[in-house]
Amino acid sequence: MIKYIGSKRLLVEQISTIIGRLADVRTVLDLFSGTARVGHALKQRGYHVTANDHTTYAHRLAQCYVQADRAHWHAQASALIAELGQVPAQAGYFTQTFCVDSRYFQPQNGARVDAIRERIAELALPEELEAVALVSLMEAADRVDSTVGLQMAYLKKWAPRAFNELELRVPELVGGPGQALQLDALECFRAGSYDVVYLDPPYNQHKYMNNYHVWESLMRWDKPATYGVANKRVDCREYDSPFNSKPRIAPAFAELIEAVRARYLLVSFNNEGYLAEEQLREMLSARGQVQVLSVAFKRYVGAQIGIYNPNGEKTGKVSHLDNKELLYLVDCEGAGMPELGG
């Protein structure tokens, strides 16, 4: 899966274990699904997962890793991806925007991305098969990029992996049903209820659309105008979420948890986020008994590298490299829940 700030790769086992200890859980909603890593893991464990995210790149990831049924699509996806891997390189919008006007990728890899993406568009594939092909391409590009994992900037010197040849691979599909949605968070609760709702909302100023604008443009293939050194989509200027605003996050989060329709609510939140632990406990307690598990976590890779100005010069020191991820489990219906410890 793609490199991702806020990825729950290191928390998947804890999340899965907590949900696995809850009685009679069959359905799980991952409301801010991101890379779909959590939904993918829960589907592997036999849950019926609904994964929701409003960005197009995250929706495509959810269609691939949560909605697509391996039994139905794996053989077709394998043949398609093998065919796409043979498409001759042809430079176009992607190469010009992200390899010439900026330096996210080497031009030879950009030309392959252009050609493969155009071919996918021409084929008019079924939605789930198209998602699998697009995710294969996005992940292939991610393996040869020249960033620290964010697309707010690219490295001053090429990352060694950027010189590797772009290679398509078949994503690890999971058998069984699942659902991918691209809705406003509150709309998901108007559509139905779930045994568990998992919330991993944005918690600080970092906007996911801006952080992954290259993937958004690759998935939409709308070839937008861009701005700035990072060549971000022009609509990044208007992109707004209350969860990225310190004054607005508390009322937005309160409205969200009030709307939750589930037996259990599981919330992942960083201790450096805009809401403090006691504040979150108080808000969640309105829905039921709350337990908290604290997990030590490394800060995102950009913080580990250091602070630089636009000229690539180091200008400051990182204060610390570790923080905590807090998992809040809420018993919304008084059904009882296990002790989390921690």
The pLDDT tens digits along the chain (342 residues) read 888 876 667 789 999 999 999 999 999 999 999 999 999 999 999 999 999 999 999 999 999 999 999 999 999 999 999 999 999 999 999 999 999 999 999 999 999 999 999 999 999 999 999 999 999 999 999 999 999 999 999 999 999 999 999 999 999 999 999 999 999 989 998 878 899 999 998 767 778 889 999 999 999 999 999 999 999 999 999 888 878 888 888 999 999 999 999 999 999 988 888 888 999 999 999 999 999 999 876 645 455 555 555 445 556 665 545 668 899 999 999 988 988 865
SS3 state of residue 294: strand
- Evaluated on CA atoms 86, 88, 92, 95, the torsion sign reads positive
Question: Is residue 95 within 8 Å of 107, Cβ to Cβ?
Answer: yes
What gap in Å lies between CA 246 and CA 289, rounded to an integer? Answer: 26
Contact 326, 277 (CB under 8 A): yes
Burial class, 238, CB count within 10 angstroms (exposed 0-12 / middle 13-18 / buried 19+): exposed
The pair of structure tokens assigned to 98 is 């992200």
Tell me, what amino acid is at 85?
G
> What does the block give as tokens for 153?
């900037």
* Per-residue model confidence (pLDDT) at position 5: 76
| DSSP single-letter state for residue 28 | E
Q: Using CA atoms, how far apart are residues 255 and 260, in angstroms rounded to an integer?
A: 9
Written as six digits, the tokens of 122 are: 């021409």
d(CA 201, CA 268): 8
Contact between 214 and 98 under an 8 Å Cβ cutoff? The reply is yes
The confidence score (pLDDT) of residue 320 equals 42
- Rounded CA-CA distance 268/46 in Å is 22
Rounded Cα gap, residues 52 and 220, in angstroms: 17
188 CA to centre of own chain:
18
Domains of the chain (ranges, CATH numbers)? 1-69+174-201+240-336 (3.40.50.150), 71-173+207-234 (no CATH)
Please report which helix (H) or strand (E) contains residue 180, including its range: strand 179-181
Instruction: Give Cβ neighbours of residue 314 (< 8 Å, ≥ 6 apart).
Output: 306, 307, 308
Under 8 Å between Cβ of 142 and 4: no
Closest listed residue to residue 300, CA positions, set 228, 208, 236: 208
Q: Which two tokens stand for residue 128?
A: 């789930």
* pTM reported for the whole predicted model: 0.91
Closest CA to 335 of 18, 24, 10: 24
